Structure 1
Amino acid sequence: MQQLRRRLTTGFVVILTMLGSLLVGTLTAAPAQAATRDGVCDTGEICFYYNSDNSGSISDHGTADLADYGTDPATCYVFRTVGRAGHDQCIKNNAASVWNRTGVQVRVHYNSDFGGTWDTVAAGAKRNLTAAVKNNNASHDVTPLRTETCKNSFGNPRSCAGAVTWANNQVGATGWGGYCDRFVANAYGHANSGSTSAIVHWGQIPSTHRNAGDRSVPAGGLAFFRGGEYGHVMISVGGGTFVSNDIDGYNKISDATIAEVENEWGYTYLGWAQPWFQVNH
């Protein structure tokens, strides 16, 4: 009988030990499985708010790039803080303010696939989004930041690569004094740009195709400046090099950089744009 009791007692202790191990394992595993997108802005996250001044429901994200927030209520990224304005609504074109707790820069884009104008949000910044993307947000990327490529989706006769080849072949040519906007239009196969000047051209390009202040201009992109009466525009051929008229002597086509135009002419760099021309719009 005593042997039976010992066996039962031993078995009971083994069962309790196994149950205890399972409970400890379950309790230990819980934090690792906790949801990261919980509507709370934690350290290491970029957080979008439905309302200005960091109020309303929150959509919190880790440090991965997001190319498209989506628009289908069944699958889109939504604001997750229950009981606040905007809860469960898609965040695309609905974010008004931001808190960047990732520790690095984050860029919020007007278009999907990291396109169009953007707002660069510094690490630790907690503020309203700039007017360019406030309630017009479609994607974001996290440092190291992506560079938008040249996209010839505007019906131009030449492609971005074709325009670059044409421009490079004109280096050393003359006869272009004062015709910067015509030069870049010719690069894309147009007789003229359809605009009266470079500065007018910049203003006519939709903001979705302009990248204000960005100096990482892809080959084929058009770099614009404010200065003088007409401004200036030149075409990127990649690697920080551009082809421009007049910078190496009036009337002549030569290689150039953004810094040369700023330093030699005192012009203000505005940013770069996709090859959009008024002539075919």
Structure 2
Amino acid sequence: MIIKIALAGALLTSSIGLIAPLAIAASGSDTCIATPTNPPPPSCQAPVEPSGGTLPGAEEAVARALRLVGGHGYYQLCARLAANIWGRPYSGYYSAAVQWRQMVAMGKAHRGDRQPPVGALVFWDTGHVYGHVAVYVGNGRIVSNDIGDDVPGEGGVYLVDFGRIESKWGAAYLGWAPPIYSTS
């Protein structure tokens, strides 16, 4: 029996501080490491993959997401909101853009795919360094922060149509990825 563990979002450190996210997948005695410049070997698979249009654990994540709708305090904290929806205190990534690049490097990004499974993280290029991530909750809807704020800095959490990020912010949709976070 092979046991697989995925750790994504751990951070590489140096004498200048935190510099990059690190993803590690262990399979039996094999250890696979991915950094923003070195993806893991194809034989390393994350434990979370689509299953019949819904990611494992998505039911609980969607319920959590819907409970957060109407709340506040997530101003420019989309990666934290998505992580909180998946039961994590933080994403472990510097930004949504860095998280997307890590998913691409790991081979977990589904570029341009507008049919994400329920629970998927969906990513946009906002034209800014941080990008945007939200969680797909099904029926063409996402739970996202800031998109409905009347006052800048409000950090509201909203249930909106999938295309709202593009139509309101002019963001370019990148694709989706499974919620891969550090287990620590």
The TM-score normalised by the length of structure 1 is 0.43
Q: Which amino acid aligns with 2:131?
A: G
Q: Which amino acid aligns with 1:251?
A: G
Provide runs of 4+ in structure 1 moved above 3 Å: none
Alignment gaps of 5+ in structure 2? 1-41, 43-50
Tell me which of 218, 221, 244 is aligned to 2:120.
221
Larger helix proportion of the pair? 1
Matched residues in 1 for 2:123 and 2:147: separation? 14
How many residue pairs get matched? 130
1:266 equivalent to 2:170? Answer yes
- Aligned partners of 1:222 and 1:274 also within 8 Å: yes
1:257 equivalent to 2:149? Answer no
Q: CA RMSD in A?
A: 2.1
- Aligned residue for 1:269, secondary structure, equals strand
- Aligned partners of 1:181 and 1:232 also within 8 Å: yes
1:189 is aligned to: 87
- Aligned partners of 1:258 and 1:269 also within 8 Å: no
1:175 equivalent to 2:79? Answer no
Q: Which amino acid aligns with 1:254?
A: Y
Q: Percent identity?
A: 36
Matched residues in 2 for 1:168 and 1:190: separation? 16
Alignment gaps of 5+ in structure 1? 1-135, 137-146, 153-158
Matched residues in 1 for 2:117 and 2:173: separation? 16
1:209 is aligned to: 108
Matched residues in 2 for 1:151 and 1:216: separation? 13
- Aligned residue for 2:136, secondary structure, equals strand
TM-superposed deviation, 1:275: 1.0
- Aligned residue for 2:163, secondary structure, equals helix
- Aligned partners of 1:217 and 1:240 also within 8 Å: no
Q: 5 Å matches for 1:44-83?
A: none
